[in-house]
Structure 1
């Protein structure tokens, strides 16, 4: 069994027998930055347990504006609600970085969940945490400043990626945050002056995580508790 498989928190919480069943029914999948897993309105065909990298759910408006609604890293799985009934995606699912997953056909995963209650419970708990994050994000987007949300977003990426450097352009960051490029630039410059990050030519490097945490809004702590810590509560 490849050691990378155990980097997914949900798979890591399963019994050896249940984990082996998921691995037997799934296949390795590699993705690049910008890879589109599905568009809004698509019927879910495959579910991905993320081993490395980040997959973002990005909502689009009729005027062309976009904003990230949530992200999935090695703590989770895409479209967890699909274990119960056929579902359509509400947002575009796109690779925010390069990465790897274990991809499984959704009908096969449903059958495994019927056969293996622990697998269903693990995914259901993750789905509950994701719902909590979505509710928190709704309040965050309405009430908190762009610089606070930017710091929170960088921390969430840092939690899910190896290393301290993110390769993201201003334009891409703005599209994920639902902000203007000038707003993202101002937020990045402020964090750079505070010594939290360095930012140049689409490369963001985390220099002082504590400073970044101080700059972020309270929603970072809530989101981390609800999503990243759920597997440890089983």
Structure 2
């Protein structure tokens, strides 16, 4: 199967083929733990479909998502240049699949591929930009606006309009109380942007959801995803 991953697809065909030969197909399911914070990174995963979330875990057990990885990216991009330890928990936010490459082997391949080094470095820079914007967003913007932004970013990375998301899971991703998430969901539902019930969020009106999101959605799109996916309004119905 040809990769859907933007990093791999940016490489010359011959170099991409070498990496695919060294890679092992991997599937993940909603809620699967990819690695725990503090674990030593052993493999990089290039995501073809689905979402992997990086989640910061506080000493009291509270959590908040710091960034998400979809078909535009990979886990542990900096491990290509140096050893890496996971600073956040990596967990599957949806069903999906990708290609895993052992880090030592990927380094060897990068030593002989300027295109791979440049593609991974460019992704790492964009990811840093996303993290910087997320820090400001989490500190300054209200939960309902962050919730709308978060739904849009999920919608950009998955097929279809239905997201399997429990209230508890949403609260852990947004670093908010379940009651706050429920209020935000009800506000978006009354606006006709989504339908929310039984652990599912259905995107009904993409344009309305974009109006409800904070400015960070557009900024993060420009930083990380411009030129990789269709324009943000492509899914609007």
Length-normalised TM-score, structure 2: 0.95
Query: Is contact 1:125–1:230 with CA below 8 Å preserved after alignment?
Result: no
Q: 1:158 aligns with which of 130, 155, 160?
A: 155
Alignment partner of 1:98 is 2:95: yes
Unaligned 5+ runs, structure 2: 230-237
State the partner residue of 1:224.
221
State the partner residue of 1:26.
23
Shift of 1:195: 0.5
State the partner residue of 1:125.
122
Shift of 1:32: 0.8
C-alpha RMSD over aligned residues: 1.0
Query: Is contact 1:53–1:100 with CA below 8 Å preserved after alignment?
Result: yes
Unaligned 5+ runs, structure 1: none
The separation in 2 between residues aligned to 1:139 and 1:63, in whole angstroms, is 22
Alignment partner of 1:199 is 2:204: no
Q: 2:63 aligns with which of 49, 62, 66?
A: 66
The separation in 1 between residues aligned to 2:164 and 2:129, in whole angstroms, is 28
The separation in 2 between residues aligned to 1:138 and 1:200, in whole angstroms, is 30
Alignment partner of 1:81 is 2:78: yes
The separation in 2 between residues aligned to 1:54 and 1:231, in whole angstroms, is 15
Q: Give per-residue Cα distances to partners, 1:10-42, cap 9 Å, x unaligned.
A: 111111011101101101000111111111111
State the partner residue of 2:9.
12
Length-normalised TM-score, structure 1: 0.96
Q: How many residues align?
A: 229
Q: 1:189 aligns with which of 186, 189, 207?
A: 186
Query: Is contact 1:48–1:78 with CA below 8 Å preserved after alignment?
Result: yes
Q: Give per-residue Cα distances to partners, 1:93-130, cap 9 Å, x unaligned.
A: 01011110100001111111111000110010000000
The separation in 1 between residues aligned to 2:86 and 2:130, in whole angstroms, is 17
Alignment partner of 1:111 is 2:104: no
Structure 1 segments (4+ residues) deviating >4 Å: none
State the partner residue of 1:168.
165
The separation in 1 between residues aligned to 2:15 and 2:116, in whole angstroms, is 7
The separation in 2 between residues aligned to 1:231 and 1:202, in whole angstroms, is 29
State the partner residue of 1:142.
139
Query: Is contact 1:126–1:230 with CA below 8 Å preserved after alignment?
Result: no
Shift of 1:229: 2.1
